[in-house]
Chain A
Amino acid sequence: MNFVNTKYLEYLHTGLQYVRPMGNSSNTFWGHSSMIVIYGGTMPTASAFDSGWASLYEPVAGSEVLVKYTATYSTHNSGSGYVYDIDTVPTSGTYVADGTATWAAILPCYDATSYVGDGTYGAYTWGNTSTNPIAMLCDVTAPSGTGLVQLSSTTVSSSAPTFYTSSFQTGV
């Protein structure tokens, strides 16, 4: 099957809009703040992220968390696809542990206080480490690199590095 790129990306974009970050149709990914959690080591596969969520990656209790930020993504059409980036860069983060930042999880549902998800697949509740998260994983670099999340420095030592930018684009 072949795709008409412009229409396919439009529907992919609209599909992301219709995801309910808070179990509420009035909230969209780019209209609601996300938590951006920074980790060290190798980015896990999606299934490894799920299975390691409770002990390793959950920002509430995960052992691999280095730093946490919150920010809101906005979107625009670049002409070749939809770009999602941060208009207001977070001015501070929450330091958790020392390490070298290598990858991040973008969590649109970080402050969900009510049921999110579908019982068919298993509900997701923030802070409940027995459920799987709604997350997008990406690489982290310094501004000289190409990470979808960029920090002023990938060295985390005693405090949260200055957040530089985050941007990604859907494509085919």
Chain B
Amino acid sequence: MAILRLSTQMKKAWRQGFMNITDYNSTQGNWAYNNNYDMFITIWDGTINDYSGSTKLLKMRTYGTASTESGEELITYNSSGTTAATSNGTATWFHIGVSDNNYWAYGTVGTDGSGADLMIGTTTLVNGTEYNFSNIVFKFPSAI
């Protein structure tokens, strides 16, 4: 398969462009025009990637932070402050996207040390209790 290898600066610029549309409100920089998509992380109780059969427990806006680590270009998604859960349930999966049926990434939820894509202190979410999340890391590809 043919490879399109990105120079360091190209990767930074493209990473910034990608981040600007996959979080709530990135700061517009010289690298890339900002487009304020309203992106959320949503946590569900149910079978992964089956949003229609799952119960929505919590929905929070995502904020991205760009960084470089060991030559890798990263986007770290966090919540800003806390948001109250809207239902009781057991968190099993999450997705990141614009709305319930319009998302670009998803994964499993588990307790710390579980190896899940998103690890939290407890998977038992309680309606009305405030939660936040941090450090969902996306590594931008070095080659396309």
Give the A-B contact count at a CB cut-off of 8 A: 141
- The winner among A10, A119, A124 for most chain B CB atoms within 10 A is A124
Partner of B104, one of A3, A23, A49, A120: A3
Task: Give the contact stretch, choosing among B8-16, B53-61, B80-88, B125-133.
Answer: B8-16
Chain B interface: which size bin?
Answer: 35 or more
Partner of B5, one of A46, A117, A133: A46
Contact A117 B9 (CB under 8 A): yes
Contact B14 A2 (CB under 8 A): no
A22 smallest CB distance to B (angstroms): 11
Contact A135 B2 (CB under 8 A): no
Interface size on A, residues (CB 8 A): 48
Docked CA distance A170–B104 (Å): 15
B104 smallest CB distance to A (angstroms): 4
Contact B30 A19 (CB under 8 A): no
Contact A15 B4 (CB under 8 A): no
Say yes or no: A18-B7 contact (C-beta < 8 A), given A8-B104, A47-B71, A168-B2.
no
Q: Is B124 an interface residue (CB 8 A)?
A: no
A interface list, Cβ under 8 A from B:
1-4, 7-8, 10-12, 14-20, 23, 25, 43, 45-47, 49-50, 105, 115-122, 124, 132-139, 146-148, 168, 170-171
